Structure 1
Amino acid sequence: MPVEPRHITIERRVRFAVLEPHERPVTEIWFALHGYHQLAHRFLRYFQPIHQGARCIVTPEGLHRHYIDGKSRRVGASWMTSEDRLTDIEDYVGYLDRLHAHVLAEESRQTSGGSAPPRIVGLGFSQGVHTLCRWLAFGRARIDRAILWGSTVPPDLDLSEHGDTLSAANLHLVVGDEDEYFDRAAIEAHEARLRAAGIAFTSHTYPGGHRLDAGTLRRLAEPEEMG
């Protein structure tokens, strides 16, 4: 008899890390999605340069943890693999929607009435870029600005169907000029694909490789950039 994979839905706990705002009411919440082999609390350290004022920064952790190598037993996480990928996508989109609602509800409880809703920024780094794009396409959460850092919009994402959603998210593309995974040809092909689909975006580069750059992050977080 053929083996038939099946699924059930379970309750499980998920992990995320937060840099709480220095001031309230919160005016801006960042949801920063890490790359492959990273963990939420370690990834959060890269956002210390923009942790100021009424900005809250949240780093969700991918649902799949693994050992990075056998000797040190260092642990990392990822958002998905090619195995059972559609189920994983559905699971992490639902998880991110629930986390978004949880964080906004917590902030609302700590703030007196009458405050304007906070601006929501989504940042994906490396593997987190595909996760962020699919969250935008398939999720229900409001995201006012999307920063795609060090990767591309997923090749299998139908831009004729989801292009308007990406454009509405005030899309910003960021890549290092020496990124070992994302060379000039890949950048140009990615941008050409977005233009062909009529998707508006702003491009940013910085000196360096496949990493978050503190100076670029500060510039992206400046009020004039956020407008």
Structure 2
Amino acid sequence: MQPQFFTTPRTARYISLGEPGPGIQHIWFCLHGREQSLQDFANQLVNLDTPERLLVLPEGLSRYALPALETTPEAADTVASWFAPDSIEADLTDLTVYLNGLATELLAACPPNTPVTVLGYGHGAAAACQWLAAGHVPYDRLVLYASIFPTEINRQATLAALPNRPVTVVTTTTDSFKPEVAGEGLVQDLHAAGLPAQLRYVSEGPLTLAALGPSAELAPDPAAPESR
């Protein structure tokens, strides 16, 4: 007995730190990790939340409650994931359609040619690469933080399909993460794909622009032709 697939509209959720509008100078699309709540992810990005920056935190379409440690059901965290091992192809298609639509709407509400950074954390790094490899969304920089690529995703093939944009790989100096988040091999794969990549080391905790290097965020170019 084989499972069948049926495509149906879904209502997705996202957090916006900042409001789209004429005052926005930088846009970040930030993809959370596996089984992570949006609020937990937002807490890691608190240092990036400034008036001139729009942070968009989409939630994965697979949403569910983790068992609470306490006895009260209200204490359970609602978390999400981007894909499941037994439906990876369909999940990747869904997330691409979802994120394309969200990005199109929000970019249209901001000044033309506003620099776009995409940040993927944990499994969100693999989701970000799969999304951007489709080539439908303009972006200026990709940040892969504590990246984990499931074995069901061909990492080398995915990276080879990415546009030629700078990539920063961020890895932690602590030992609280799994060994696969070490960034050296990922940087090697990025270089093999012909992409400019650098490796940064950070301590566990809220992310800062300083941790991502001096070119973590590009300045708007008022002379650039409109492309969005």
How many residues align? The count is: 212
Give the corresponding residue for 1:67: 65
Name which of 135, 140, 145 aligns with 2:136: 140
Are residues 1:226 and 2:212 paired?
Answer: no
Kindly state the Cα deviation for residue 45 of structure 1 after the two structures are TM-superposed.
3.0
Are residues 1:55 and 2:58 paired?
Answer: no
Change (3 A) 1:207 1:44: closer
Give the corresponding residue for 2:26: 28
Q: Larger relative contact order (C-alpha < 8 A, sep ≥ 6)?
A: 2
Unaligned runs of 5+ in 2: 219-228
Residue identity over aligned pairs, in percent, reads: 25
Give SS of 1:131's match: helix
Give the corresponding residue for 2:185: 189
Change (3 A) 1:9 1:225: closer
Native 8 Å contact 2:145 2:170 kept in 1: yes
Unaligned runs of 5+ in 1: 109-114
Distance in 1, Cα, partners of 2:142 & 2:186: 16
Are residues 1:213 and 2:206 paired?
Answer: yes
Kindly state the Cα deviation for residue 222 of structure 1 after the two structures are TM-superposed.
7.7
Give the corresponding residue for 1:157: 154
| CA deviation map 1:72-123 (0-9, x unaligned) | 4322111111021100011011101111011112x24xxxxxx542111100
Change (3 A) 1:205 1:221: closer
Give the corresponding residue for 2:169: 173
Native 8 Å contact 1:97 1:139 kept in 2: no
Mean alpha-carbon deviation: is it higher for 5-14 or for 154-163?
A: 154-163
Change (3 A) 1:170 1:154: farther
Q: CA RMSD in A?
A: 2.8
Name which of 108, 114, 117 aligns with 1:118: 114
Native 8 Å contact 1:164 1:199 kept in 2: no
Mean alpha-carbon deviation: is it higher for 188-197 or for 173-182?
A: 188-197
Change (3 A) 1:184 1:154: closer
Kindly state the Cα deviation for residue 6 of structure 1 after the two structures are TM-superposed.
2.1
Distance in 2, Cα, partners of 1:6 & 1:185: 34
Native 8 Å contact 1:38 1:78 kept in 2: yes
Give SS of 2:98's match: helix
Distance in 2, Cα, partners of 1:207 & 1:74: 25
Distance in 1, Cα, partners of 2:216 & 2:44: 19
Mean alpha-carbon deviation: is it higher for 69-78 or for 59-68?
A: 69-78
| CA deviation map 1:120-157 (0-9, x unaligned) | 11001111111111111125111211100001566643
Aligned positions of 1:86-125 closer than 5 A: 86-105=89-108, 107-108=109-110, 115-125=111-121
Q: Which has the higher helix share?
A: 1
Distance in 1, Cα, partners of 2:211 & 2:26: 13
Change (3 A) 1:192 1:222: closer
Distance in 2, Cα, partners of 1:40 & 1:86: 24
Native 8 Å contact 1:125 1:151 kept in 2: yes
